[in-house]
Structure 1
């Protein structure tokens, strides 16, 4: 691992205890709900929050004894923190100048990086003259200008509107692919994480609850937070070979397992009926509608019953079924639409 760290930060009402390893050239995304410890971890790596215990080693060298300014780290903050009184070129050259690089050389480095991120023509502009996407690219160029061995990104796309975010996300992925150091990205946006990261580390209450490649985490969530993040219904129960028993309901699955297991299925796989359907599907139960809301182009129906689930249906289906909150209906999901795996 290029980065090998155990980050322990103890506060009166919260403890972060996170073991983190990142290979050279790898992008690792820290995901988690608000208050999980993501930003605390990033600030601890940067030297902005002191460790209560643990260590930080980068390419075999201990970093934790060093002050923030002595660590070979580049950081992109959520609000970018560009110096308003400096030009774009001077902002990017600032880091090398602080490292003692001669002014002319620092400016050459800055110009090369601005060209790489497609902003060479904005070198003389002030930050207030930039769009959000341009400011994000300047912040990235400034972080790379110090030739870091570790790049830290704190919600780097959060300040952008949806249209700009789509374009900048793709550009950022290309820039990160060119960086040969370790990268740690903090985000609350699952799409940012899925597109930008090689590996996800999910934190809840200051500890890792799941980690792995994005596709694996999305396919096999292990907590309610991760399931909501990737848009799945998730239940834990006991598998008996035929399915997974969750409370009093046996959910038949396409996998044959025994013992503690998770069962997951997308909200779009849940079918709703006003009356008991003919043929009685194998996974069928009565439920009460707890709420109905718009969800993208569809409608999300919150159901309570033997299992609490979300069902996504079209607005036309909602009108056809004439569904309202408080109503009792039938719900089903095909065994082929479920996915079971060991808990």
Structure 2
């Protein structure tokens, strides 16, 4: 049930042109900013958006020549789109009934799936009586009821509040682990992607800019968008063996590289001073404070200078340094806190 797809879709702002392969039992997340082409790719796989060029092949059989109804897919939409007049049980039974299964058999299948997602006690409830997390699980059960070979999930947790999202994310990961077909998940939330997916494909402006297992993508971001998602300062420059030259600033690193390279470090690794620091830091530069904002339990300081950077410091440090926008400060990062890798 391996999926091989080359998707080319023309949009007013860009042309989506990506290739992807998803193995049986694998969950691949399409990650990217709004308008990058993620949902367009998912709709193309489902047959809801026409391809300009390309193909979709599942287990050796072409899907792109089939209508939406003929494709062996299950889909969970962002807003779930449950039928409001049907009970949870009948929502799940709807797909098998459309495939010609008898009413009794479809309801038996639906009951088994509702039990699997922990909703047996809510089988007779209409969607308006379900919580967001329960509706999401009914939508998943409905998608699985048609015994799909390809499962498509469009922002499946986006409609949930933060507390419910945490619980449902964990449940969804278990359900996906039990599915032996190919799964493609679209999300803009890095945590959803990191927890649910075996592999990430990052899309920007209709093209794949990075892909790999979540840990590798998080450790070695290759675009500003990915760096922001994983919370790193990222720069591209030229390595000379002892550091990476970024503009006029040489950032010393503990990684020995030559040629085009990326260098990254966490905002928490950036120390700020009112005057030039003495001692061990090998990377020191003068910067101007562009802004200050709360960031979790800390304060994020936006810096402009030879490089644009974020620094995370404690509220106590902010008060002690008496930092305000427009001030000149000194920033430093230890070489051991940086990470360089080939561009």
Corresponding residue for residue 32 of structure 2: 32
Indicate yes or no: 2:256 matched with 1:256. yes
Which aligned segments of 4 or more residues in structure 1 are displaced greater than 3 angstroms? none
Residues 1-343 of structure 1 aligned to structure 2 (within 5 Å): 2-279=2-279, 281-343=281-343
Matches of 1:12 and 1:318 in 2, distance apart? 46
More displaced 10-residue stretch of structure 1: 11-20 or 327-336: 11-20
1:167-219: per-residue Cα shift (whole Å, max 9, x none)?
00000000000000000000000000000000000000000000000000000
Q: Do the aligned partners of 2:10 and 2:16 also contact (CA within 8 Å) in 1?
A: yes
CA distance 1:234–1:330, change in 2 (3 Å) = same
* Corresponding residue SS for 2:176: helix
* Corresponding residue SS for 1:69: coil
Q: Do the aligned partners of 2:244 and 2:252 also contact (CA within 8 Å) in 1?
A: yes
Q: Do the aligned partners of 2:111 and 2:123 also contact (CA within 8 Å) in 1?
A: yes
Q: What is the TM-score normalised by the length of structure 2?
A: 0.99
* Corresponding residue SS for 2:69: helix
How far off its partner does 1:150 sit?
0.3
How far off its partner does 1:281 sit?
2.0
Matches of 2:253 and 2:32 in 1, distance apart? 29
How far off its partner does 1:280 sit?
6.0
Matches of 2:46 and 2:255 in 1, distance apart? 45
Matches of 2:13 and 2:234 in 1, distance apart? 29
Matches of 1:92 and 1:319 in 2, distance apart? 57
Structure 2 unaligned regions, length at least 5? none
* Corresponding residue SS for 1:70: coil
Matches of 1:329 and 1:57 in 2, distance apart? 57
How far off its partner does 1:12 sit?
3.4
1:101-144: per-residue Cα shift (whole Å, max 9, x none)?
11100000000000000000000000000000000000000000
Matches of 1:15 and 1:221 in 2, distance apart? 24
* Corresponding residue SS for 1:68: coil
More displaced 10-residue stretch of structure 1: 12-21 or 2-11: 12-21
Structure 1 unaligned regions, length at least 5? none
Matches of 2:117 and 2:15 in 1, distance apart? 38
Q: Do the aligned partners of 2:78 and 2:154 also contact (CA within 8 Å) in 1?
A: yes
Matches of 2:181 and 2:12 in 1, distance apart? 35
Number of residue equivalences: 343
Q: Do the aligned partners of 2:280 and 2:334 also contact (CA within 8 Å) in 1?
A: no
1:41-84: per-residue Cα shift (whole Å, max 9, x none)?
00000000000000000111000010101100000000000000
Q: Do the aligned partners of 2:281 and 2:335 also contact (CA within 8 Å) in 1?
A: no
Q: CA RMSD in A?
A: 0.7
Matches of 2:259 and 2:278 in 1, distance apart? 32
Matches of 1:54 and 1:244 in 2, distance apart? 40
